[in-house]
Structure formats: C-alpha cells, structure tokens
Amino acid sequence: MVRFLIRRTALLVVTMLITSVIIFGLTQLVPGDVAKLILGREASPEALQALRDEFGLNDPAPQQYVRWLGGFLVGDWGRSITGVKQDVRPLVLERLGNSMRLALMTLIISIPLSIFLGVIAALNENTWIDSAISLLTLSVVGLPEFVTGLVLINGLALGVKALNLPATSAVPDNTLADWIHELILPSITATFVLLGYVARLTRAGVIDELKKPYVRTATLKGLPQRTVIFKHVLRNALLPTITVIAISFGWLIGGLVVIESVFNYPGLGALLVDAVKQKNLFLLQAIIMITIFFFAVANLTADIIYAILNPRIRLE
C-alpha cells in the first residue's frame, strides 16, 4: 500500500508540474502586449513601462515561469493586476471555500439520491419502474444548467413565497438551517447535472453484480435481500462510481460557472469569469492551478479508496 501511495503521489506531482508549464505557456501566448491589454490602448508609455517593471513582464519567459512557480509553491500567488491591487492568494482561497460549501452540499444531496435510484432501477430491471427512473434521470441531465436554475428561481423562490427561499444565494454561516436556506436551489441545480450519470452507473454495476454466483449462493443460504444488497453487492458495484464521485467533486470546485452566475453566488467559478473579463493574468493562473490541483487530488483520493476496497488494484 505504501508503494502504491508513493507512485500515485509522484504522478500527482508530475501532473501538476506539467500543468503549470501549460498554464504559464498559454498565458504567454496571449496576442499583443499584455500591458496594453490590461491598461488599454490609450495608456501612456510611462504607465505601460511601470506595469511591465512592477510585474516583471519584460523578463525572459523562463525567468518569469521560475519566479511564478516558486512564489506559488511558497504561497505567493502574485497580486491582482487590474482593479484593486490586492494579493491573489487570500482572494482565491476565500472563493475556494465558498465553492467547497456548494460542492459539499451538492454531494450530500446528489450521491445518496443517485445511488438509491440506481439500486431501485437495478432491482426492477426492464420494468416500468426502471424505465421511469431512466427517463427521469436522463431528462434532467439534458436540461441546461441555466434553464434549471431559472426554473427553480421562478418556480420556488419567487413563485412559492411560503418557502422563503432566496433568488440569489449568499455564503451560508455555520448553521445547518442557513446552509439549506442559501444553498438548496443551486445544489439541486448541480444535482441534476450529476444525477443521471451516477444513477445509470450504479444501476449497471448492481445489475452486473446480481448476476454473479456469490449473490445466488448468499440468497440460497437464506440471507435477506437487504443484507445481500447492502453488505455484498454495493461494495463491489460502487467501485466504478467512486471514481465518478471523486471527479465530480473536483468538477464542482471550479466548474459551477453557470450555476454561480445564475444564483449570483460568490464562488471560484464566478471569480474565474471576472479574471477572464479583466485580463487579470496572475489571478487567472492561480484559479486554474488550484482547480486542476483539486481535480488531481480528487483522482488520487479515488485511487486510494478504490485500492482499499479492491486490493487487487494494489497488486496490479
């Protein structure tokens, strides 16, 4: 297990190193003078030169990369180039915490619901129940996120005043009631994105496991169906689903741009949009790096859980 963790951790480090080169290289490929893109065509030569000197934009690209990566590793992620000149790190970490709250709330809703629907569909394979669940999950997945969000806002937040749900979501405090009040609508919207895939994957895994000899043996021994399903079948059937759930968490951290925009939620995705609009290179680099880092960590976590549940993975 130790060798397995060392190999996966080393792969994570290499992945992040390659990613950093790609991110820095892409920002260097921005056409035109970066200083002019930031300050505009009407900026004076003195202002342009001051900006280049302040952020080292005239230095050779390898020198800029080494300085940027070294600073990133020690927590110096640069300063915001546009707007208020503030450090990037606390701004990104604040928005990251907001997105993690929304991602956690989404997983709390989506994962149990998806697994439940997948198991029910598998136990009723090729019946009207299976067809209804498949139709429901595939239908909600096909809806664009902004459509789902607007329907929930107009139907529940504005249409049913008794629910007292906000049309725009703020960062919740540490109480469960406020988490539900502020995050329930955007979480449901994000749940619809994940529901169909996780439910269908669970259904396929459970159906495959139910056809294996050990299930028939356990049933013939008189074990209750509930025990067979929850103690034996799900342990094996959910192995592929674990990877999807882990990757979904990584996606939820930085991929909720549309949902955060619809609900005006101050998350990392909304900050990414602002950074692109403002051509704020240091902020853009930091957001992409931290998002990909969470993707990589999510995959590493999935590999570890997978290896714990399936020891053959470690031997291979």
For the stretch 27-36, pLDDT in tens is 777 666 667 6
Distance CA 76, CA 87 (A): 8
The two three-digit tokens of residue 223, written as one number: 């074990």
Mind listing the domains of the chain with CATH numbers? 16-76 (no CATH), 95-315 (1.10.3720.10)
pLDDT at 1 over 70: no
- Give the Cβ contact number of residue 42 at 10 Å: 7
Q: Of 107 and 215, which is predicted with more confidence?
A: 107
Handedness of CA 46, 52, 53, 59 (dihedral sign): negative
Q: Which amino acid is at 246?
A: A
Tell me the C-alpha to C-alpha distance, in Å, between residue 133 and each of 118, 122, 125, 141, 196. Answer: 8, 10, 11, 12, 9
Distance of CA 35 to the CA centre of its chain: 32
Q: Residue 40's pLDDT is what?
A: 66
Distance CA 49, CA 200 (A): 57
Does position 221 have pLDDT exceeding 80, yes or no?
no
Q: Is the pLDDT at 315 greater than 70, yes or no? A: no
d(CA 79, CA 88) in angstroms, rounded, equals 5
**Whether pLDDT at 208 is above 80:** yes
Within the chain, residue ranges assigned H as helices are: 2-28, 34-39, 45-55, 61-73, 88-123, 128-142, 145-152, 176-210, 213-220, 225-227, 234-237, 239-254, 257-262, 268-278, 281-309, 312-315
Above 80 in pLDDT, residue 50?
no
- Model confidence over 71-107: pLDDT tens digits? 888 888 877 766 556 788 888 899 988 988 998 999 8
Flag whether pLDDT at 311 surpasses 80.
Answer: no
Evaluate if residue 254 carries a pLDDT over 80: no
What average pLDDT does this structure show over 40-67?
Answer: 76
pTM attached to this predicted model: 0.82
Q: Is pLDDT at 153 greater than 70 in this prediction?
A: yes
Residue-wise pLDDT for 174-202, tens only, equals 888 888 888 999 999 989 888 888 888 88
Q: How far apart are CA 118 and CA 126, in angstroms?
A: 13
